[in-house]
Amino acid sequence: MTIRGAIGASLIDYTTGQTLGLEGGQENVAPHADPTAAALGTASVIHAAMQTAAYAPAVPGDTVEDVIISTSAAYHLIRPVRTSFDSRLVLYVWLDRNEGNLAMARRRIRTLADDLA
């Protein structure tokens, strides 16, 4: 992993909840070693953020950049990958709270998402 403190990461099609790629050790690709549940949960979270009126863009051209969930031990970062066609992909990164740097991880994830687009 090129993100300090990253435990696992995945590329997910949030419209279907399918994982397209994983990075991390077998037990570390997702919380509870269950990448399918993590992908479905990630899809639900990003759907809620993009479809719920409370988070809907108030300014034309405004979009959801990332969703961050923090726990006492970790950060879960979800970043939509903006493409010229359907923008169905999101990057999910599980970051150790003690080892990682949230600001630096967000910058790196933004770069990765831009590179994928």
Of the candidate ranges 55-64, 67-76, 103-112, the one whose mean pLDDT is the lowest: 55-64
The model's pLDDT over 10-59, given as tens digits with 9 standing for 90+, comes to 899 988 888 888 887 556 555 666 778 888 888 888 888 877 766 666 77
pTM value is 0.84
Domain ranges of the chain: 6-116
pLDDT at 110: 92
Phi/psi of residue 116, each to 5°?
Answer: -75, -25
C-alpha dihedral (95, 101, 105, 106), degrees to nearest 10: 110
Domain 6-116, CATH: 3.30.450.30
